[in-house]
Every structure is written in C-alpha cells, then in structure tokens.
Amino acid sequence: MTERTIILPENGNGSGYGATYQLSMMVPRRRYLSYLRERWWVVLVCLVVTIGTVVVYETVRRETYSSFAQLYLSGEVQLTSVNSLVNEDWQNYYGTQIELLKSVRLQGEVLDKLSIKVEPGGTLPVKVEVVQPLKTSILLVQATGADPSLTQRFLQGLVDQYLAYKKETRLLTSEDVMISLTDQVAKKAKELQIAQDRWAEFVRTNNVAVLEEEAKSAGLYLAELNMQLAKLKLEKKLLEEGLGAAPTNEVIAGDPGSTLLSTNAASNLVLGSNIPLMASDNTLKTARVELQVRRAERDKVVADHGEIAARRLNEEIARLENTVFIIEQQNVEQRRLELKDAEKRIAAMEASIPAWETKALGVNERLSQGQRLKNDIQREQTYYEKLLGALQNADLSKNVQQERLSVLQPATPGQLTKRYLPIRISAAAVFGLALSLGIVFGWYLLDDRFVSVRDIQDQFGEKVLGLVPQVRVAKSKPKQALVETSDTRRAYAESYRHLRSALLLSSLGESRPQTLLFTGALPGEGKTTVAVNLARVLARSGLRVVLVDADAQGAGVHRLLERDEQPGLLDFLRGDAAMKQVLHNTDIPGLALIPAGTRSSEADGLFLRPKLEELFRLLRRDHDFVVLDAAPILATDDSALLVPHADAVVLVVRPFRTRTRLVRQALDMLYQRQAKQVAIILNRARKDDLAGHYARNGIATASRNGHGVKG
C-alpha cells in the first residue's frame, strides 16, 4: 500500500495544521457482476456469433454417409531376433497401424482400383477416421462420404489393401530376417572356428598341466625365499646391535693396585689354562661371577691375613679380569664372522629372487592367455547357438503373426450421418458464453472507470451526497434535462429532492454549507445539469438561491437555460458592471442567475482580483445558498481558485465514463487548494444503485475529516 499525508496551511477558516487529510492508494475493489450487467451486449454478440456459425454450417453442408469396419489385433505383434531386428513397442504398435490406415499411399491405391481420379493436392471424396476403443485390441475404422455406395466400397477396399500390405511387409521382413540370420550364423561359425584353432595351437605348444605345476612350485619357492630373506635380515640386525657394545682395552673393575695384562699375555694365560679359545656365554658368565666373589673377599683378607694374602688375591683378581676381557673379545670376533656370513647369504638371496619372480610371471602370463582363449570359445559358442535357434524358429514366428491380424467386421453399408444439431448448438452456446465472460473480464481488469456507487464507496472515503438516475434527453433539446414542478420522471425528480434534504437536514461539517461549488474531473460528467436542477429545487422550497455560472469556457448554464447573452461574472470582476447589472431573475421565484458574462482576452487572472471576495460577500448576505457551476477541476485553474471560497465542493462523477485515477487526482488537487468539505454525486446512476443506496444509507453527507481510498 502507498500512503501519502497532506497538511493544509493555516487560515482563518479553522483549517490548517489541525486538519490532516490522508490519501491511501490501494488496489480498488470493483463489482464484476455490475460491470457484466452493463456489458450484456458482449454476451449476446458472442452467443449469436457462435450459435449462428454452427447453424449456418449445419445448414449449408451436404448430407454425408458413414460406413464402419473393425479389425482385431490379438497379442503383441513382433518378430524377435537376437539383434532385435524387428521389435515394435506394444503401445506404439497401434498408433502405427492407425497412421498406416490413414496414409495417403493406401488410400491412393484404393482410389486407383475404384477408378476415381483426384487432382494432386485435392480433397479425397471419402474421409477416414481410425480409433482404438479404450483397453481393447480392436481398431474401429470409419469412412465418411457423400455417396453411400462409394463410401462402403472405399472402406472395404482400404481394409483389403491394408491386409495385403501387411502380408507383403511381413513376408519381406521374414525373408530379410532369415537372410540376416543366415549371414550372422555363418559369420559366427567362422569366428568360433578361429577361436578353437587358436586354443589348439596354444595346447600344442604349451603343456597346461606342467605350466600349472610350475606356477605353483615357483610361487611356493619364491615365498620361501622371501621368508628366509626376512629371517636373515632380522638376524643381521640383532648381530649389529650386539657389536655396538664391544669392550675396549681398559680395566674392567678393581682398585688402583690391580693391573690389566696385555692382550698377548692374557691370551697366553688363557691358552695355558683350562678355558677354551671360543668361550660360550656360560663360561663368560661364570668368570664374571668368580671375579665378583674375589673382589668381595679382598677387603676381608686385608683385615684378617695381612698384605701377603691380599697380594695373592689381587693377582687372582687381575687374572680373572683379563680372562673376562679375552672371552668378550672372542665373542665379538665370532659375531663379526656370523654377520659377514649373514650379509653374504642376504646378497645371494636378493640376487636370486628377481629371477624366480620373472619365471613365475612368465608362467602365469601363459596360463592367462590360455584362459582367455577358452573364454572366447565359450562366448562364441553361446552366441552361435542362439543365432542357430532363432534361424530355426523364423518360419514358426512368421506363421503366428499371420493369425494375429483379422477382420472382425467388414465394411457396413453407408448410413446417413447424424448431425447432432442440438448438441452442437449447446456446445456453441457454452463456448460463446465462456468467450463472452472472458472478454468482459479482461475488459473489466483493464478498465478503471466507475461502474456503480459501490465502486465509489469502496475506493474513496468521501461520502456520496446523492445519486441522479439517467434520463433520455435529445441533444437538440437540452432543456428537457431540467426538473419541472410536475415532472413525470418520478425517480429523476426524487433524486434531486434527496439532494435537497441532504443539504438542509444533514450538515456537511459543523454547520450547513451556504456556498456550494459543483465541478468534475473532466467535461461531460453532467455537473452543470446537477447544479442547475439542485438550485431550482432549492428555490422551489422557498429558499433564496443564486446560481453562478463560473465556467467561463463551457457556458453550459447558458445553453441549458436557453438565455440570451447578458452581463455576468466576468463583467463584474473586470469592473464593467455592478451587482444589480449581473444579477438576473429567472422564471422560478427565489432563484437568481449570474451568467458567465462577456468573454474577452483579459479574462486571465480575474478570479484573483479582490472583486471576487466582494462578490461572495454580497451573495452570502442576500441569499441562503450560492451554487457555483465551475469548470472541471483538471481542465482549468479557475475552479481551483474558487475552491477556498466554497463551504463545500461537490464532485460529480459518471459511471462508465469517469476514471478512478482522474477522480483521485481531482480530490488531491481540491485538498491542496484548501477545500473544506468534499462530497460526491453519482450522475446517471442505475435503478438498482438508487434503491440500494437510499435503502442502506438514507441521505448521505460528507465528512470534514478528509478522504481516503479504501481497497
């Protein structure tokens, strides 16, 4: 929703910053049914066109005759081969048969047999329709033509020609299939023989059993080599870790008095003793234990037996220390020898493993080649057997197909085609009605003109002052639009009495308005007729009323009252005439008239002169009501200059002529020009609008608080 608020400037009439007029722009809601009632002729035209077209067509077209035939197709009709040479889908099959029966080729051959000549591009004398009843295997063929005998003969000839064509096609297809199958069987036989020859050549040059045993033994031996290699690498790693802790030529343990023998002396000492050259781990362990015992005894011997015994014990300890050292050296040498031996064995195994791997791969490759040859033979053999079976069953398939197509009912004699005129007329009426409703609805969406009083009430906040019904008035006699005392147009006269009551009994604001300004959005909405008639009705009620023709361009009051040109408003504003000279009496007591006056080139800016303020002061002093017939508010600026002098502005609108956006612009301009009160009169209203409006609302009055668009 788009909303805009306009604040009027402060003035002496009480409006200003305290008076706020709010204009809310929303999507209007209008009555489609009301719009449809006004456009009833569209519905009538569409119905006449559609129904008339059907009636004329059924009247001028010639009588036609229809002949019927039925074909029965049982089961799925197909000839299957391994290569799917002919494999029609079940659903597409019937569509193919229907198009075949309707084809130009078959129908042309039938016409040739019947000796009927048709010019190229000409119309066939018989029309053919083919349908398949739902969930059946039957084709219903209908031929329609002007000659009943020709129609029957044509349909029967078409069925016969269709059967002959299907038979010929079936034979050609079967022969093609058999030829293709025979060629493929011979080709596959050759391919099978080639595969078998390759296998025989492979068996001749290779002993499959020996290859399998070689592959098995090579695999086992290769696995054993890899396992031994892994064990040797582990043993090598352990030997390398043992050599990392080898002893050096130092004192192993003892005091400052103990000495370590040289390596040669220690070796001689050991060789002279009972210790073997390659001592085991147990010998080394025993020597180390004995050495620790002697060291423990040394402190006790020094204290108990003296230095001589201690010296002998130290010599024994030194001898044991050298013995331990020598044994450890021997163990290191032994590990080094074992490490060299392990490295040699690892190198030998690593050198032999690739040769065995190559040998195992070669054997496996020859075995794989033999397996591929065996698979090729098996595949070619299977395909060959299937082709051979399809070739043997080709004749059987052909015979089965011939029995699946039969004539269930031959062509019937030509019968007069029913016209179904009532059904066609009803369908045309429904179509015409739907078309007309669619046209009117589209027109309704694109048209923003008023349709009824409900449109005004739904879209604007201004109250509707009254409604004036439509009356027929000849253009050459505009005076017929005036309300007379004994007017026979009761509804027309009563509408102006309602307007009078709205002004006298209901106030447009805090007090009854004295100066009324009648205007419209654009010319042709009837604001002059409404203003003149309301002034006449007020005067007949005993009130003093003055009618001022403020439309300097239109001069509608002059034409409506059929008065001669007299001095008027423009003359008074220019100062060329006094009030008595411009104020004229009429045939109705109490009603005075101020015509537009003499027009001249100096008319611009007259409504801005102080004389206008003097005019209204004099008129209000001597009259109960001052009725101003102004120009359309959007047409000239003169009406906008009169708005501040009026107690209420009456905007006259007309259904199917006044547009919503123009009324919105007019209201916006009126409030911008300090309009105190605004009311709306709907001119040329329908009877149902009149009854509904006055029954619901009675005499409506305008509000002073402002105006707003209701969505």
List of residues 6+ apart from 300 with CB closer than 8 A: none
Query: HEC states along 399-436?
Result: HHHHCCEEEEECCCCCEECCCCHHHHHHHHHHHHHHHH
Residue 150: both structure tokens together: 């020709």
Sign of CA dihedral 431, 434, 437, 441: negative
C-alpha span between 116 and 113 (Å, rounded): 8
User: Coil, strand or helix: which one is 77?
Assistant: coil
User: Coil, strand or helix: which one is 68?
Assistant: strand
The pLDDT-based confidence of 564 (bands split at 50, 70, 90) is confident
Residue 124: both structure tokens together: 């066939």
Q: What is the pLDDT of residue 336?
A: 85
Phi/psi at 140 (5° precision): -100, 115
C-alpha span between 168 and 401 (Å, rounded): 12
Query: HEC states along 240-263?
Result: HHHHCCCCCCCCCCCCCCCCCCCH
Query: What is the rounded average pLDDT for all residues in the chain?
Result: 78
Query: Does the pLDDT of residue 31 top 90, yes or no?
Result: no
Phi-psi label, residue 66: left if phi above 0, alpha if psi -120 to 50, beta otherwise: beta
Q: Give the pairing of strands 678-685 and 648-653.
A: parallel
Q: What is the pLDDT of residues 383-409, one digit of tens each?
A: 888 888 877 766 544 544 444 678 888
Q: How many residues does the chain have?
A: 711
C-alpha span between 269 and 291 (Å, rounded): 16
C-alpha span between 705 and 711 (Å, rounded): 19
The pLDDT-based confidence of 264 (bands split at 50, 70, 90) is very low
Q: What is the DSSP string of 28-58?
A: ----HHHHHHHTHHHHHHHHHHHHHHHHHHH
Average pLDDT of 551-574?
81
Report the share of the chain in percent with pLDDT over 70.
79
Q: What is the pLDDT of residue 535?
A: 93
Instruction: Quickly tell me which residue has 């000239």 as its tokens.
Output: 636
Spatial contact of 481 and 473, defined as CB atoms under 8 Å apart: yes
Hey, what's the torsion of the CAs at 43, 48, 54, 57, to 10 degrees?
-150
Q: Which segment of 115-124, 338-347, 514-523 scores lowest on mean pLDDT?
A: 115-124
C-alpha span between 405 and 393 (Å, rounded): 20
The pLDDT-based confidence of 212 (bands split at 50, 70, 90) is confident
Q: What is the pLDDT of residues 245-254, one digit of tens each?
A: 555 444 344 4
Average pLDDT of 4-22?
44
Residue 89: both structure tokens together: 């889908």
Q: What is the CA radius of gyration of the chain?
A: 63
| pTM > 0.75 | no
Spatial contact of 582 and 548, defined as CB atoms under 8 Å apart: no
Spatial contact of 128 and 141, defined as CB atoms under 8 Å apart: yes
Q: What is the pLDDT of residue 696?
A: 53
The pLDDT-based confidence of 632 (bands split at 50, 70, 90) is very high
Q: Which segment of 62-76, 256-270, 529-543 scores lowest on mean pLDDT?
A: 256-270
C-alpha span between 630 and 552 (Å, rounded): 8
**H/E segment holding residue 519:** strand 515-520
Spatial contact of 165 and 100, defined as CB atoms under 8 Å apart: yes
Q: What is the pLDDT of residues 427-474, one digit of tens each?
A: 999 999 999 999 988 887 887 777 778 878 878 888 888 899 988 888
Return the closest-CA partner of residue 679 out of 466, 506, 494.
466
CA distances from 455 to 402, 465, 524 (A): 75, 15, 20
List of residues 6+ apart from 391 with CB closer than 8 A: 178, 181, 182, 185
CATH label, 450-471+507-697, candidates 3.40.50.720, 3.30.1600.10, 3.40.190.10, 3.40.50.300: 3.40.50.300
Most confident of 69-78, 80-89, 327-336: 327-336
C-alpha span between 4 and 445 (Å, rounded): 25
Spatial contact of 50 and 431, defined as CB atoms under 8 Å apart: yes
Spatial contact of 471 and 489, defined as CB atoms under 8 Å apart: yes
Spatial contact of 225 and 353, defined as CB atoms under 8 Å apart: yes
Q: List the chain domain ranges.
A: 32-60+420-444, 67-181, 213-392, 450-471+507-697
DSSP state of 656: T
Burial 549-571 (b: 16+ CB within 10 A, else e): bbbbebbbbbebbeeeebbbbbb
Q: What is the pLDDT of residue 544?
A: 94
Helix runs in 643-680, H state only: 660-672
C-alpha span between 77 and 20 (Å, rounded): 86
Burial 72-88 (b: 16+ CB within 10 A, else e): ebeeebebebeeeebee
Phi/psi at 486 (5° precision): -110, 55
User: Coil, strand or helix: which one is 324?
Assistant: helix
Query: Does the pLDDT of residue 516 top 50, yes or no?
Result: yes
Q: What is the pLDDT of residue 329?
A: 83
The pLDDT-based confidence of 4 (bands split at 50, 70, 90) is very low
Q: Is pLDDT larger for residue 153 or for residue 27?
A: 153
Query: HEC states along 95-133?
Result: HHHHHHHCCHHHHHHHHHHCCCCCCCCCCCCEEEEEECC
DSSP state of 198: H
Q: What is the pLDDT of residue 90?
A: 56
